[in-house]
Every structure is written in structure tokens, then in C-alpha cells.
């Protein structure tokens, strides 16, 4: 769900004059790989993805950090107990104590309501990202620039005119 925020906030900061290197979400990876781009975030100089180690290290870290939790979810959290891995939560909703420090799950009805809200917010964020993908493919701009272009001239910069331009080549 934070991916949407991560796409919008850098572009907003760049529009306000903050130097981020490359603020448009779909251009950052290519810019980083094809140059020695330093991603400055919030005025902190020298922030570099994976310490300049490259995409291989990023992929390895992602595999390790997400592979374990996904494997535990796949085989079932309780099936890992015989090998000495004790994880909180259950197969359908992992988490437990470390992820609920304020004990919101104590109220069963409230917990179910919050779980449904979380799923709905996640689905809404996925739709927003789908919109960002489509906009990037059609307009070759970031989401905030698309909004600004639409607000400046809604009659000539909208979904119909952009699809027409795309189809005309």
C-alpha cells in the first residue's frame, strides 16, 4: 500500500524544488543502472541503492527477506514448529504479538473489521498502481505530472485524448 505513496511523494517533492536525482517512479531503476545516479532523499546526500552493489545484491536480499515469510505462509506456520521455528499468528492471518503491540486483536469483532479494511485498502492501492502503470505507458510521465496536465487543460489532456494519441502512433 505504501507503493502508491512512494510513487507520488518523490514527484511532489521534486515539484517543490527538492533535488532527488530522478523523481519519476518508473524512471528511477533505469537511471540508477545506466549512470552513477545518487538518490538524495529528504536532503540526505549520498543515499545509494544497496551501497552501489548493483541489482544482483538487491535481488538476493529480496529473495532472502521475502522468501522465508512466503515459504512459511505456503507450508503453514504450524508446520515449521517441528524444526524449531515458532512464528506468531496463523496460516490465514500471520502476525501475532510482534505485529500487534497495542493488542487490537483482543476485540474479535474489531479485529475482523480491521482485517477487512486492510484488504480493501490493499485492493484500492493495487488499482491505483494499475492506473500509474497505464499512465506511464501512455503518457511517459509520472502520476503527479499527469494530474497537473489534466488540471491545466482537462479538455485536451484526458484519458480519451491520450488513448487516441497512443493509437495514432
d(CA 155, CA 130): 23
pLDDT, residue 29, reads 74
Would you say 121 is a known binding-site residue? Answer: yes
CB 90 within 8 A of CB 111: no
| Residue 80 marked in a binding site | yes
* Grid cell at residue 85: 521455528
52 is in an annotated binding site: no
Q: Judge whether 135 is annotated as a binding position.
A: yes
If the chain, 169 residues long, is cut into consecutive pieces of 10 residues, what is the mean pLDDT of each piece? 89 88 82 67 55 69 83 71 64 59 77 86 94 91 93 91 85
Q: Answer for the pair 79, 71: CB distance below 8 angstroms, yes or no.
A: no
Q: With H, G, I as helix, E, B as strand and everything else as coil, classify residue 81.
A: helix
22 labeled binding residue? no
Q: Is the pTM of this model over 0.95?
A: no
- Report CA-CA distances (Å) from 118 to 16, 57, 140: 31, 31, 31
Establish whether 62 is an annotated binding residue.
yes
Confirm or deny that 117 is annotated as ligand binding. yes
The answer on whether 123 is annotated among ligand-binding residues is: yes
Amino acid at each position: 500500500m505504501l507503493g502508491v505513496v512512494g510513487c507520488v511523494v518523490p514527484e511532489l517533492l521534486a515539484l517543490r524544488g527538492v533535488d532527488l536525482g530522478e523523481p519519476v517512479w518508473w524512471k528511477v531503476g533505469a537511471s540508477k543502472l545506466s549512470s552513477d545516479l545518487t538518490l538524495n532523499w529528504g536532503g540526505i546526500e549520498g543515499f545509494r541503492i544497496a551501497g552501489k552493489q548493483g541489482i544482483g545484491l538487491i535481488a538476493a536480499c529480496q529473495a532472502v527477506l521475502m522468501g522465508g515469510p512466503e515459504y512459511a505462509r505456503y507450508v503453514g506456520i504450524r508446520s515449521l514448529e517441528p524444526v524449531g521455528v515458532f512464528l506468531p499468528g496463523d496460516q490465514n492471518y500471520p502476525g501475532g504479538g510482534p505485529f500487534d503491540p497495542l493488542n487490537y486483536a483482543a476485540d474479535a469483532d474489531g479485529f475482523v473489521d480491521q482485517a477487512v479494511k486492510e484488504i480493501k485498502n490493499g485492493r484500492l492501492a493495487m488499482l491505483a498502481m494499475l492506473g500509474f502503470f497505464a499512465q506511464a505507458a501512455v503518457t511517459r510521465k509520472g502520476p503527479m505530472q499527469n494530474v497537473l496536465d489534466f488540471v491545466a487543460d482537462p479538455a485536451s489532456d484526458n484519458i480519451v485524448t491520450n488513448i487516441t494519441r497512443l493509437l495514432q502512433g
